[in-house]
Amino acid sequence: MLDMNWIRENEDIVRKTAEWKRLEFPLAELLAWDDRRREVRRATEQRRAERNALTKEVERLLRGGDNEGAEQAKAQVRGIGSELAKLEAELAEAELRCGELMLLAPNPVSADTPIGPDEGANVELRRHGAPPMFGFRARDHVELGELHDMIDLPRGVKAGGPRSYVLKGARLLLHLAVQRLALDVLTERGFTAMDVPVIVRPEALERTGFFPGGRDQTYELTGENRWLAGTSEVSLVSLYSDEILELDQPLRLAGMSACFRREVGSAGRDVRGLYRVHQFSKIEQVVMCRSDAAESEALLQEILANAEHILQLLELPYRVMAVCSGDMAMKTHKQYDIETWMPGREAYGETHSASNLLDFQARRSGIRYRDENGRLQYCHTLNNTAVATPRILIPLLENHQQEDGSIYIPQALRPYMGGVEQIELK
């Protein structure tokens, strides 16, 4: 959420942001309702002051024995009370409409964000590692999973419907191993590991900027007024809503959770195998810091580096992309994606997304801290994937396959796999 005064002072930026992010934001309607809210608030405050003054006058008249004058003043008080009731109803309506429209206001993008309509305008910043050159016909992750009896898509669909899966044997161990590796890396770097709720209140999704725009991607528990979160970011931020934090040092959190997304609109090669599924597991980095642009930018680079380090431990080739305005969510100020090479797709596929939201979520959530002068300020929030699985298993299996069908296990994963160096073909 943005500050209303800031919106009024920066109308052109707000309009451009909505255009760049391909959003329909009714700025004129918001400004009109805010004008109405200010006007009615002034009238309400004025009439309240008049009522209070008359109430004191009634008391004075009664003390002086002027009962007739007191009755006349009481009648005036009652008249003002009737007017106030109407004004307060109008003010409540204006407050409600302003609040609803404010939730649609997009977060401005950073000065170094590429401007473009879609992912085709994202800018590659750097690459690490090179895609493998196989001297044999490489299999994709679905073939490898079936070959090793590690994945069962038909039975997953039988139990859960389309885009469901079953991981078993070595693949399940890999699924757990990459999560343990990510947790260990983050805890060594000062993050507090947390297992958080995935069934959340709608307010939690609204506070973090996933609602109202993301309802079509979110599963609702009908009749419960609860929703299934698509990332532990929702819970991690909401844990601290309406609190005043001590932020002498940034608050670094690592959320471990199952995640659920409807993936409406996905099609083509994205729906094969494990790339886009409805249920997955993720270790998420969430950071809260002071309202300092330089500090939050440094932390964005830090959480991005954490994700790169994990990919390097997994010995996977990847590239870092600066995400353009049209490929961003409305809540995002600046974003990097990491795309990992997936031989089965013959392309890089997104595996991580790092975002700086400035104080956008904190304003919605009421998360503040006291600055060096004791004044309350909204903090900045950031987030990034540490690892999301089973998607990360796609490049892990495909890049590390060998000609005989066996799969090499990176050294960093071996302690979590009982020391196994490769998955042999049975």
Catalytic residue (choose from 308, 339, 350, 398): 350
* Cis amide bond preceding 250, omega within 30: no
Cβ neighbours of residue 214 under 8 Å, at least 6 residues apart? 205, 230
> Starting at the edge strand that comes first in sequence, how are the strands of the sheet with 376-378 ordered?
244-245, 368-370, 376-378
Q: What are phi and psi of 351, to 5 degrees?
A: -125, -15
Q: Is 139 a catalytic residue?
A: no
* Exposure class string for 388-407: b at 16+ Cβ within 10 A, else e: bbbbbbbbbbbbbbeeebbb
Catalytic residue (choose from 284, 325, 391, 398): 391
> Token pair for residue 42?
């002034």
> Token pair for residue 10?
């920066």
Catalytic residue (choose from 252, 261, 290, 364): 261
Catalytic residue (choose from 41, 262, 276, 370): 276
Q: Is 97 a catalytic residue?
A: no
Residue by residue, DSSP assigns 177-218 as HHHHHHHHHHHHTTPEEEE--SEE-HHHHHHTT-TTTTGGGS
Distance CA 274, CA 272 (A): 6
For residue 39, what are the CA distances in angstroms to 91, 94, 97, 100, 101?
9, 10, 15, 19, 18
Amino acid of residue 340? T
Catalytic residue (choose from 296, 325, 353, 365): 353
Q: Is 45 a catalytic residue?
A: no
Q: Is 207 a catalytic residue?
A: no
**Contact indicator for 79, 330 with CB cutoff of 8 Å:** no
Query: What radius of gyration do the chain's Cα atoms show?
Result: 28
Distance CA 43, CA 36 (A): 11
Distance CA 199, CA 194 (A): 15
Q: Is 276 a catalytic residue?
A: yes
Q: Which residues are catalytic?
A: 261, 276, 350, 353, 391
